[in-house]
Amino acid sequence: MKLVRRIAVLLLALLAGPVAQAALKEGVVNRIAATVNGRPITSSEVRARLAPYLRELMMLYPRQGPRFNSELVAAKKAVLNDLIDRELVLCEFETKGFVIKEDQVEDEINRRILMMFNGNRSEFLDSLRKSGMNYTEYRESVKKEITVSAMRGMRYERGIPPTPDEIAEEYQKTSSEYRDIMKDSISYSKIFIPAMDPNDPMVTPEDCYKLAVRVREDLDNGKISFAAAARKYSRDAHAADGGKWPSLRRDELAVEFANVVFAAKPGQLVGPLLDPAGFTIVKVHNKKLAAAPALTSPEIKQKVDDAVRRKKSEHRYRQWVDRLRDKAVIRTFI
């Protein structure tokens, strides 16, 4: 595992453009990203929030380029605005004496580790370290988010209860959001091209990336079948089978890889993606999504009820936050 991580860092250093290189180097520095009425928002908070987006973008765009840069800038802007909104609400309610139970914070952190790191706490802590944020700081950040959510609920999510028809309509639109997505499964074929050739030390990661791009072009142009390309170029355990992998559950895949392949349609080619040790081209065959829970479940019905109330309150909430922005002194430095 340590060797894989070292190779991944080498790949990023060799292939990354200026934005990704800056992101890698900046991890140990914790500057002030913005202030809200004098309350600081640190760059480590921004990086920690931005980390999942950055990992996916670097996988999708190994050489970066204009699209990578524009999507990264948009993601950073959205993250910073969310953090500013958070501080505005905290400023408004800090004298209210609202208390968040410590076990609520731990439950939320564990939920995020499960969703973003497949439950791997070591990877989560490693990600925090790279962002320049320690666990205590991260925990405080999560506590603030829970506090804001709770205080928002106190102010704007009390109102006329949803009607049965509104609940049924919302469930029809969003039932898939309540699935246990970790039980989703997918089947695909894969071509893996390692970044280093053990038989030829002169071959560079750049050469391997160019080969992956050429293979993808040949696949797109119909010059070679996926199975034939896998047998010829792939270097993993399933190359001899034409690159076809057995069906896997989402929780058996790396989070970023799962997010990318589950977003693809059956028959679609994806890649070349930046793999921890090289480059990957994937052809998705089919996906089997876990069933949505029934609305008859009291827990699901309550969640749908809460969702309807939040949507009803969103407009009023945004108006309130905009008024807070108008009154606040906000300075941004990134």
Structure tokens at 155: 């102010």
Domain assignment present for residue 318? The answer is no
pLDDT tops 50 at residue 199: yes
Judgement on whether residues 205 and 255 belong to the same structural domain of the protein: yes
What is the C-alpha separation between 40 and 203, in angstroms, rounded?
A: 47
What is the C-alpha separation between 241 and 92, in angstroms, rounded?
A: 61
For every residue of 241-267, DSSP letters joined together read: GTTBPPPEEGGGS-HHHHHHHHHSPTT
pLDDT tens per residue across span 105-160: 888 888 888 877 878 888 888 888 877 778 888 888 888 888 777 776 666 655 66
Range of the domain at 192: 181-288
Judgement on whether residues 221 and 283 belong to the same structural domain of the protein: yes
As a whole number, the mean pLDDT across the chain is: 81
Judgement on whether residues 55 and 195 belong to the same structural domain of the protein: no
pLDDT of residue 187: 95
Domain assignment present for residue 101? The answer is yes
Judgement on whether residues 187 and 142 belong to the same structural domain of the protein: no
pLDDT of residue 267: 92
Here the CATH number for the domain that contains residue 240 is 3.10.50.40
Domain assignment present for residue 217? The answer is yes
pLDDT tens per residue across span 219-258: 999 999 999 999 999 998 899 999 999 999 988 888 888 8
- pLDDT confidence band for 208 (50 / 70 / 90): confident
- pLDDT confidence band for 189 (50 / 70 / 90): very high
- CA neighbor of 69 nearest in space, from 33, 31, 18: 18
Judgement on whether residues 12 and 143 belong to the same structural domain of the protein: yes
Of 49-53, 209-213, 219-223, the poorest mean pLDDT is in 49-53
Domain assignment present for residue 195? The answer is yes
Judgement on whether residues 225 and 113 belong to the same structural domain of the protein: no
Domain assignment present for residue 13? The answer is yes
Judgement on whether residues 131 and 45 belong to the same structural domain of the protein: yes
- pLDDT confidence band for 30 (50 / 70 / 90): low
Judgement on whether residues 9 and 108 belong to the same structural domain of the protein: yes
- pLDDT confidence band for 19 (50 / 70 / 90): very low
Judgement on whether residues 152 and 6 belong to the same structural domain of the protein: yes
Q: Letter for the amino acid at 62? A: P
Domain assignment present for residue 167? The answer is no
Q: How many domains does the chain fold into?
A: 2
- Predicted TM-score of the model (pTM): 0.55
Here the CATH number for the domain that contains residue 109 is 1.10.4030.10
pLDDT of residue 28: 47
208 exposure class (CB count in 10 Å sphere: 0-12, 13-18, 19+): buried
pLDDT tops 90 at residue 266: yes
